[in-house]
Amino acid sequence: MAEEDSVKEGYAEIVVVRHGETSWNAERKIQGHLDVELNDAGRQQAEKVAERLSKEPKVSYVYSSDLKRAFETAQIIAAKCGKVEVLTDPDLRERHLGDMQGLVYQEASKLRPEAYKAFSSNRTDVDIPGGGESLDKLYDRCTSALQRIGDKHQGERVVVVTHGGVIRSLYERGRPSARKVEKILNTSVNVFRLFDGDKWTIQVWGDVSHLDQTGFLQSGFGGDRTSG
């Protein structure tokens, strides 16, 4: 988005950012609601995206999932963008993945076959054993959360720091007829506009131009089959 662009009345501009890398992303361990902090690479990524956002139009607030990997990313962004307030919202958490959480993805089918079957299902209404959420529940939770934020901040630009599975659901809300998205990269920037009347558009998708091409993780895993 060009620096001279400004947010107009009638919509909220929400910059949705995936958290920085964790050691579990690098090891392809399934995080879900488990509270894993950023690793050194993740903190460097967060600094890079914070620097980028500080040079773009003014941010009024930063919202974040209350999980450490998102909250720490959000704090770094907020500090660079004029020390704005960080507000946490548990509805921005990653999908709860039940009995899959804490497992290395490649081992999950053997160790938790029922949970893996539910996770791999093409149906969106299947809960994952062990307290996990269906894709429908995730979608309802996180799209409602973003709508609340949009309704509250019409005419403003805010940042939301969240997780791969959540961002995938938000994409489906913004572009319901589009193809499914693939990887959601750590600290990728995705700009949504939420208009009066519940209309959503996506202005920027999956932008990681602030990162060195050798410095970000291609395979971070968490809330869906390729990211989180």
Q: pLDDT per residue over 151-173, tens digit each?
A: 999 999 999 999 999 999 999 99
Question: Residue 11 above 90 pLDDT?
Answer: yes
pLDDT of residue 93: 98
pLDDT of residue 228: 47
Listed in order, strand segments (DSSP E) in the chain are 11-18, 62-64, 86-88, 157-162, 189-195, 200-207
Question: Residue 213 above 80 pLDDT?
Answer: no
User: Rounded mean pLDDT of 210-223?
Assistant: 60
Q: Of the listed 19, 33, 153, 163, which one is catalytic?
A: 19
* Domain parsing of the chain, residue ranges: 11-211
Please tell me the CATH superfamily of domain 11-211, with its number.
Phosphoglycerate mutase-like (3.40.50.1240)
pLDDT of residue 5: 54
pLDDT-derived band of residue 2, with 50, 70 and 90 as boundaries?
A: very low
19 known ligand binder = yes
187 known ligand binder = no
User: Rounded mean pLDDT of 86-101?
Assistant: 98
205 known ligand binder = no
Distance CA 148, CA 169 (A): 16
- How many CB atoms sit inside 10 A of residue 167's CB? 27
pLDDT of residue 4: 40
141 known ligand binder = no
Percent of the chain with pLDDT over 70: 90
C-alpha 32: how far from chain center: 12
User: Rounded mean pLDDT of 107-125?
Assistant: 96
Known active-site residue 94 = yes
172 known ligand binder = no
- How many CB atoms sit inside 10 A of residue 43's CB? 16
Which residue's entry shows tokens 């091409």?
Answer: 213
Nearest alpha carbon to residue 227 among 42, 76, 28, 36: 28
Q: Of the listed 13, 72, 94, 133, which one is catalytic?
A: 94
Distance CA 64, CA 76 (A): 12
Q: Which tokens go with 12?
A: 């909220």
22 known ligand binder = yes
Percent of the chain with pLDDT over 90: 83
12-58 residue pLDDT tens: 999 999 999 999 998 999 999 999 999 999 999 999 999 999 999 99
122 known ligand binder = no
Known active-site residue 33 = no
